[in-house]
Amino acid sequence: MPAFEFRSLDARGKVRKGMQEGDSARQVRQALRDKGWVPLEVREARDRKSGATLFSSLSRAGRLNTAEQALITRQLATLIRSGLPIEQALSAVARQAGRPHVERIVLAVRAKVTEGYSLARSMAEFPRAFPEMYRATVAAGEQSGHLEQVLEQLAEYLENRHDTGRSVMQSMIYPAFILVFSIIIITLMMTYVVPRMVEVFARNEEGLPALTRVMIVISDFFRDWLWLAVLLIIGGVVAFTQALKSPAFRMRVHQRLARMPLIGKLICTADSSRLASTLGILSRSGVPLVEALAISSQVVGNLAVREAVKQAANKVREGGNLSRALDASGYFPPMLVQMIASGEASGELDRMLTRAAEYQERELAGVVNTVVGLLGPAMLLTMASLVFLIVLAMMQPIMQMNALFAM
């Protein structure tokens, strides 16, 4: 049964949009009238005249975040395991979606399934909602006949990924607040407070302490040229963003980031964790290792690390070992390489990949918690030091004057 996108007026005159299944556009219009709605537009998912599909337009605009992907996957796995056909399971998930864009995407996928396409092929119409790794995993589950098990593994992976990202974002709220607050306080002090306090000493700048003179220069810069500094910073950010559109420049930046002491470790650990998790899921689903490496490279954020994965896939295709290929790049932690080597030797690569992913996730969480825990006190200490320098610069001339009067 095809799906139709409709736009109508309800009994209160409010415009309603959505997706509904029906044998024809006429049936959908009649169903809307039965609800008391006035149909304004009803379009079939497939444009028979031009051959274009509504799915294509939806795929460009339709996105699912990690939480929505995890919820849909978990619900599908539960319903399919209970014996429900895929079409009915998709229909139930759409009713439970709660968000219009999620409901439209799921119903559109269901419409393709009812036309005879596989679930993975139907999801391919929405590459932003269901990325390549997701679709390849679903396709492997359909081919192996264990779709519900594969969906459960995929849901667990997505839930862990979402929880990790959310915990990192929550941990960064306090340091970010301190940073913004510090910038505002320092700017206000240098722009308004310091100029008023130094007016008393303006006539005798040569006799002022060096720290006070430096503070006056900085204050004058803040007051007269802060707007120019802000414009230059914005211009630099825009120029850097435009430069990043060049693949060669973006690759050089990513290579530098991956080699930096602390940031590089965080980037490589995070990418290694995602790579191991994805490889483990695809391997357990029956995807060949070379194909799994090509798919898994898409979940790696750093371009230099991604290129290393692609080169490793080429070496594996030529008959080389995965552990040696990854170790040659220098981007992957030794523990990950050793666990992969152990899995290759024992023939249990998928299980070792899962264990390696769990280890990398714990290590990443520990490093992130340590860094975030140090950021707050470090920012507070920096802000207190700057305020102390400003106060000291203002108090030194006063102490000099008091010493002169005492004499």
| CATH of region 58-155 | 1.20.81.30
What pLDDT, in 10s, does the model give residues 261-280?
878 888 888 888 878 887 88
Strand ranges of the sheet holding 15-21, from the earlier edge strand across to the other edge:
15-21, 3-9, 38-44
Helices (H), 209-348: 210-243, 247-259, 261-284, 289-296, 303-317, 322-329, 334-346
Residue 87 corresponds to which tokens in the numbers above? 């079409």
pLDDT at 201: 64
Residue 20 falls in which region: left (phi positive, over 0), alpha (psi -120 to 50) or beta: beta
Query: CA 272 to CA 356: how far, in whole Å?
Result: 9
Q: Which amino acid type is present at position 270?
A: A
The pLDDT tens digits of the residues spanning 136-177 come to 778 877 876 778 878 887 888 788 778 877 777 777 787 788
The domain covering 172-407 belongs, at the CATH homologous superfamily level, to: Type II secretion system (T2SS), domain F (1.20.81.30)
Domain boundaries, the chain: 3-44, 58-155, 172-407
Distances in Å between the alpha carbon of 196 and those of 192, 208, 233? 7, 16, 27
Q: What is the pTM of this model?
A: 0.62
DSSP per-residue letters across 153-220: HHHHHHHHHHHHHHHHHHHTHHHHHHHHHHHHHHHHIIIIIHHHHHGGGGGGGGGS-HHHHHHHHHHH
Topology alike, domains 58-155 and 172-407? yes
* pLDDT averaged over every residue in the chain: 80
In the prediction, which pLDDT does 59 show? 41
Taken in order 226, 228, 230, 233, is the CA torsion positive or negative?
negative
**CB neighbourhood size of 85 (10 A):** 11
Q: Which residue in 84, 82, 105, 111 sits closest to 23, CA to CA? A: 111
Q: Could you report the per-residue pLDDT of 174-223, keeping only the tens digit for each? A: 778 888 888 888 888 878 777 777 666 655 555 677 887 888 788 888 87
Q: How confident is the model at residue 50 (pLDDT cuts 50, 70, 90)?
A: very low
Q: Which residue from 114, 117, 116, 71 is spatially nearest to 94, judged by alpha carbons? A: 71
